[in-house]
Chains A and B, each alone.
With several copies, the nearest count.
Chain A
Amino acid sequence: MTSYTAEFDDIPGTRVFTAQRAKAGYELNQFCMSLMKEANRERFKADERAYLDQTKMSQEQKQAVLDRDYNTMIDLGGQIYFLAKIFATDGLSYLQAVSTMTGMNIDDYQQMMLHGGRSPEGWRSIKDGN
């Protein structure tokens, strides 16, 4: 039953947003959508914890948001285009936010991109090691 989804797990450092993850991340992603309204962004910025406590998110999900830990948010069912509403609220660009998931600092990440991006070598398949 999981054959379609399972094959993506062979790709290093990648989580595709499956139907299962969509269910797990439902409340987290709904919270993100709420930040599409300016008034909600203001309320969130004024008191993040209070805003999050009004949602049905899990404690883990809330903590990951407070920590701006995007890898954990993705593990807990978040999807990057939803999560973008959080870093947009913070005034960050995609580049700035995305770099935080790579273990590189923003300057090194930016330099890597300016030099043609992350090379595919070694990032294709865990099994094949290529």
Chain B
Amino acid sequence: MARITHGLTTSHIPAVGAAIDLGKTAEPYWKPLFAGYDWTKAWAKENVPDVIILVYNDHASAFTPEVVPTFALGCADQFPPADEGYGPRPVPVVQGRADLAAHLAEGLILDEFDLTLMYAMEVDHGLTVPLSLVYGQPDAWPTRVIPFAVNVVQYPPPTAHRCFMLGKAIRRAVERFDEDLNVHIWGTGGMSHQLQGPRAGFINTPWDTAFLDRLVKDPDSLAQLKHLEFVREAGAEGIELVMWLIMRGALGPEAEELYRFYHVPGSNTAVGHIVLQSVETP
């Protein structure tokens, strides 16, 4: 059977991708940010999963103003990088895992999650920047990736509670897959940031820190948070944090914190990065 053993969260700031692509990671501005991923890079080299279920949001790249899916599951074999206006990022094409994606589609829809299935999709910085942060600049990504896109652009996004329940359902579905697979799940986006209006640049470090603590120890309480609190306390784009609850729900009731990094600023954003290990309960 397949198992979700680890979870990881990270911001997916586009400027971080640009810094990597343009070879600026050693510059004084960027150095402390990238240093915060050194532990993870070493850990990830020793712990390559068979598949990553990568929860992210599309930033008006694959999804046009015509079609706004709440949850979109990537069922294709390949997902090329999108051209977000600067030209596509020079990163490898993401290799999917269509058999597991088809299995997840079945399990989750029967579990009453109303997915949209994607058989052709380009992926933007929301998905590729986390891969670059953890795996650097390889010729090919070392693992398969199933993209799972969440609408956090148009209101309302799914509730925190819905996301947490979805994570639990993903865990159940993965465990019903016949093949022995080591699966990781990543939640991306966040932490506090706002990219619009006079309030842009908003950062709330105490709230972010408490969020990270509760994500590890008390995710049930986070699942009760309303959208209003996310926007008020973490900024308009801090709403991306609902996606981290999908990751956390998929780890099961207990999780052990292996590593944490928090840094301000990454461009306009507070960088939050945590690596968790599922503690199996009988």
Also in contact, A38 and B83, with CB within 8 A (given A4-B110, A103-B198): yes
Chain A nearest Cβ from B73, distance in angstroms: 10
- Is B203 located at the chain interface by the 8 A CB criterion? yes
Q: For the complex, give the distance between the alpha carbons of A11 and B207 in Å.
A: 17
Contact A79 B68 (CB under 8 A): no
Q: For the complex, give the distance between the alpha carbons of A124 and B233 in Å.
A: 7
Q: For the complex, give the distance between the alpha carbons of A20 and B236 in Å.
A: 17
Tell me which of B87, B154, B199, B265 contacts A13 (CB under 8 A).
B199
Contacts of A94 in B (CB 8 A): 13-15, 195, 267-268
Contact A93 B18 (CB under 8 A): yes
Q: Which of B100-108, B163-171, B253-261 has 4 or more CB atoms under 8 Å from chain A?
A: B100-108
Contacts of B154 in A (CB 8 A): 17-19, 22, 79
- Is A55 located at the chain interface by the 8 A CB criterion? no
| Chain A: interface size category | 35 or more
Interface residues in A1-57 by Cβ distance below 8 A to B read 1-2, 4-5, 7-8, 11-20, 22-23, 25-26, 29-30, 32-33, 35-38, 41
Find the residue from A23, A93, A99, A112 having the highest chain B CB count within 10 A. Answer: A23
Contact B196 A118 (CB under 8 A): no
Contacts of A32 in B (CB 8 A): 60
Contact A79 B15 (CB under 8 A): no
Contacts of A88 in B (CB 8 A): 84-86
Contact B231 A8 (CB under 8 A): yes
Contact A80 B202 (CB under 8 A): no
- Is B143 located at the chain interface by the 8 A CB criterion? no
Tell me which of B65, B153, B155 contacts A33 (CB under 8 A).
B65
Tell me which of A15, A17, A102, A120 contacts B207 (CB under 8 A).
A120
Find the residue from B119, B202, B205 having the highest chain A CB count within 10 A. Answer: B202
Chain B nearest Cβ from A44, distance in angstroms: 11
* Chain B residue total in the interface (Cβ 8 A): 61
Q: For the complex, give the distance between the alpha carbons of A24 and B200 in Å.
A: 22
Q: For the complex, give the distance between the alpha carbons of A99 and B195 in Å.
A: 9
Q: For the complex, give the distance between the alpha carbons of A38 and B68 in Å.
A: 24
- Is B23 located at the chain interface by the 8 A CB criterion? no
- Is B64 located at the chain interface by the 8 A CB criterion? yes
Contact B103 A102 (CB under 8 A): no
Closest B residue to A16 by beta carbon equals B155
Find the residue from A14, A19, A71, A84 having the highest chain B CB count within 10 A. Answer: A19
Contacts of B110 in A (CB 8 A): 4
Q: For the complex, give the distance between the alpha carbons of A121 and B28 in Å.
A: 29
Contacts of A33 in B (CB 8 A): 60, 64-65
Q: Mind listing 18 A-B residue pairs with CB under 8 Å?
A: A1-B178, A4-B106, A8-B155, A11-B232, A19-B105, A26-B65, A36-B82, A71-B198, A79-B153, A81-B60, A84-B59, A85-B85, A89-B85, A93-B267, A102-B198, A113-B268, A118-B201, A123-B202
Given A18-B155, A36-B82, A101-B198, 4 further pairs, Cβ under 8 A? A15-B236, A23-B75, A74-B196, A102-B198
List B residues at the A interface (Cβ < 8 Å): 13-15, 18, 59-61, 64-65, 68, 75, 82-87, 98-99, 101-103, 105-107, 110, 117, 119, 153-156, 176-179, 192, 194-205, 207, 228, 231-233, 236-237, 264-265, 267-268, 270
